Amino acid sequence: MHYFYLQDDIRLSSRLTVDAGLRYELVTPQWESQNLLANFDPTTDSLIQASSGSLYNRALVNTPKLDFAPRLGLAYSVDQKTVIRAGYGINFAQFNREGGENLLVYNLPNIVNTNVNQIPSFANPGIVGTAKTESVCTAAQLGAAFDPANPTPCFRTTMQGYPTDFTSPSIVTAASNASTQARYIPKNLPTGYVQSYHLTVQRQLGPSTTFEVSYVGEHGVKLQVLADYNQANANPVTATCNGNLVTSGCVNLLNQNQGRPLKTFTTIEETLPAGFLGYNALQTKLEHRAGHGLYLLNSFTYSRAQDNASGHLDTPNGDNSRINLTNPLGERGPSAYNQPLNEILTLVYDLPYGKGRMFGGSAPLLLQEALGGWQITAINSASSGQAVNVTYSPDSNQSVSTILNQRPNQISSAAVLPKSKRVRVNSNQGITALNLNAFSLPDQNHPYGNAGRNSIRFDPFYQLDLGLHKSFALYPEGTSFDFSVEAFNILNQTNLGFPGSSTFSPTSTSFGVVTAATTGPARILQFAGKIIF
């Protein structure tokens, strides 16, 4: 990683200052000391292996060499009470941590992912009075090589260990096991970047009050997102289930893969430069400092954030980091973290009684200690609710990939039930908050529903926190005891959390149910004290 940066501050006049800079970034791709990397090659539809030689031979991707990032800022004093500030800059996203999904070291044959999901099988399980005995693997079965097409022919105990050749690359291929998906990074992957800009006007309204209003924006392109290069066709396919030709009712990975373009692979998880983001916001700040012990700060934001995928390790509320290549417009929507309205009011007030304050400066010491020197704090927060991403579980004929979210049809705008129609559904005080009747399943020929990504806005958030603080002087001089009483959510406002399930099914009893585990805390009272010496 290498950075080169040039910057210059230019004072054009007593009122105008310009700051300009240019940053150049040269970041080499990751490679492994023993050349244990592999990448998918779309020209041969196969995995190629790293080798000694050039940087490309070792990393299997090329180095971007045109990452220039300019910066420009200015400050202009309109008069003694008004200042205008503006700025623009480009920032490159050189590293995008997608867990292991964008690491070429995860490919065969260097790492082999296999799994055997088994449950005990019993002899004579339905005969009353007959002892149940586990039908464990025989010696012949134990000696047989692992067959990914039939991974659980019998039940293996812990002492019998893993099957023979369980992790052998010659047996476990990318087409034979769901967990051995290939990772693919295009060799000329460009570097994603974000343009950031703002325009701010700050005005002094009085000797103790300032007001600031800003437009803040960001626009990002070529950001890394994930997709399934080997995504199946959405149309129904003929599959074989237990020797019979069927078009539905057989949920099996191999059957789902019948519609994939490359039959020698299951999922080919591609790192794609197709991510974008957009953020536009009106931000205001009012700050007031009064000489009689009052401090007030109010911050308000009205914004909109859009993108087409979340970060892979940051997918809240049913969102996904992968995009559907055959329905890309369906992935564009509000960001998972988009909250259009945010209002926070902070207040600090020194009560006007006690030494050095408006009243009680000459009161007796005992009265000073009991009533003087107290301070009240308050924080009032209000914001829009979180976005909800409603999905459904397609059958084998509708599923185009095991790593994608597919969304149902939304047939009503009343997706969130009003508080008057919410009911408790279980002893754990679960509350049904989403309307089951607002959605329907797509048909097999059109598996992509019209419900938008993160298109549903859940309940807003409200909370008021109060605090009462005082410092007591102790002996020797310079020692004090700080005491505080704090009340969080003092009005005991119920802030429902995200529903435990946003996966739609016409017969679901858990869809849209919010439990106490995800609901915000009720009123909390806290007493605290500390000695400062």
pLDDT tens for residues 446-466? 888 999 999 899 999 999 999
Cβ–Cβ contacts within 10 Å for residue 204, how many?
14
Q: What is the mean pLDDT of the chain?
A: 86
| Average confidence (pLDDT) over 66-70 | 94
In this structure, of 37-46, 389-398, 421-430, the range with the lowest mean pLDDT score is 421-430
Q: Is 14 helix (H, G, I), strand (E, B) or coil?
A: coil
Beta partners for 192?
Answer: 93
Rounded Cα–Cα distance for residues 58 and 44 (Å):
19
Beta partners for 322?
Answer: 226
Q: What percent of the chain has pLDDT over 90?
A: 51
Q: CA quadruple 413, 419, 423, 425: dihedral positive or negative? A: positive
Rounded Cα–Cα distance for residues 462 and 345 (Å):
12
Q: Residue 286: enclosing H or E segment and its boundaries? A: strand 268-289
Name the pLDDT band for 178 (thresholds 50, 70, 90): low
Most confident of 53-62, 147-156, 288-297, 398-407: 53-62
For residue range 219-252, list pLDDT tens digits in order. Answer: 999 999 999 999 987 654 444 444 444 444 444 4
pLDDT (0 to 100) of residue 74? 95
Q: What does DSSP assign to residue 197?
A: E
Q: E strands, 368-458, where? A: 375-383, 387-388, 391-392, 409-410, 431-432, 439-440, 456-457
| Average confidence (pLDDT) over 33-44 | 94
Does 97 score more than 80 pLDDT? no
Q: Parallel, antiparallel, or unpaired for β 209-228 and 322-323?
A: parallel
Picking from 186, 278, 178, the residue whose alpha carbon sits closest to that of residue 226 is 186
Q: Parallel, antiparallel, or unpaired for β 268-289 and 209-228?
A: antiparallel
pLDDT (0 to 100) of residue 252? 45
Cβ–Cβ contacts within 10 Å for residue 27, how many?
16
Answer yes or no: are the C-beta atoms of 393 and 502 closer than 8 Å. Answer: no
Does 406 score more than 50 pLDDT? yes
239 phi and psi, to 5 degrees?
Answer: -125, 160
Residue located via tokens 């705008």: 413
CA 219 distance to own-chain centroid: 19
Rounded Cα–Cα distance for residues 404 and 449 (Å):
13
Both tokens of 206, joined, read 């009085």
pLDDT (0 to 100) of residue 269? 94
Cα-based distances in Å from 177 to 104, 189, 252, 254: 18, 28, 11, 9
* Omega within 30 of 0 (cis) for the link into 109: yes
428 phi and psi, to 5 degrees?
Answer: -85, 15
pLDDT (0 to 100) of residue 126? 46
Higher pLDDT, 176 or 222: 222
Rounded Cα–Cα distance for residues 308 and 192 (Å):
14
Answer yes or no: are the C-beta atoms of 416 and 400 closer than 8 Å. Answer: no
pLDDT (0 to 100) of residue 242? 45
Query: What single string gives the DSSP state of each residue in 51-115?
Result: -SSSHHHHHSSPPP--EEEEEEEEEEEEETTEEEEEEEEEEEE-----TTTT-GGGSTTTS----
For residue range 285-318, list pLDDT tens digits in order. Answer: 999 998 788 999 999 999 999 999 998 888 888 8
Burial 218-235 (b: 16+ CB within 10 A, else e): bebebbbbbbbbbbbebe
Rounded Cα–Cα distance for residues 164 and 179 (Å):
18
pLDDT (0 to 100) of residue 32? 92
Rounded Cα–Cα distance for residues 282 and 306 (Å):
15
For residue range 317-330, list pLDDT tens digits in order. Answer: 889 999 999 888 88
Q: CA quadruple 165, 168, 173, 178: dihedral positive or negative? A: positive
Q: What percent of the chain has pLDDT over 70?
A: 90
pLDDT (0 to 100) of residue 128? 46
Picking from 223, 221, 191, the residue whose alpha carbon sits closest to that of residue 27 is 191
pLDDT (0 to 100) of residue 121? 56
For residue range 77-96, list pLDDT tens digits in order. Answer: 999 999 999 999 999 999 88
Q: Residue 143: enclosing H or E segment and its boundaries? A: helix 139-143
Rounded-to-10 torsion of CA 329, 332, 333, 338: 180
Residues 6+ apart with CB under 8 A from 503: 318, 390, 391, 392, 393, 511
| Average confidence (pLDDT) over 374-391 | 94
pLDDT (0 to 100) of residue 81? 95
pLDDT (0 to 100) of residue 308? 94
Answer yes or no: are the C-beta atoms of 418 and 483 closer than 8 Å. Answer: no
Rounded Cα–Cα distance for residues 384 and 301 (Å):
11
Rounded Cα–Cα distance for residues 63 and 187 (Å):
9
- Identity of the residue numbered 75: A
Answer yes or no: are the C-beta atoms of 110 and 36 closer than 8 Å. Answer: yes
| Average confidence (pLDDT) over 511-521 | 84
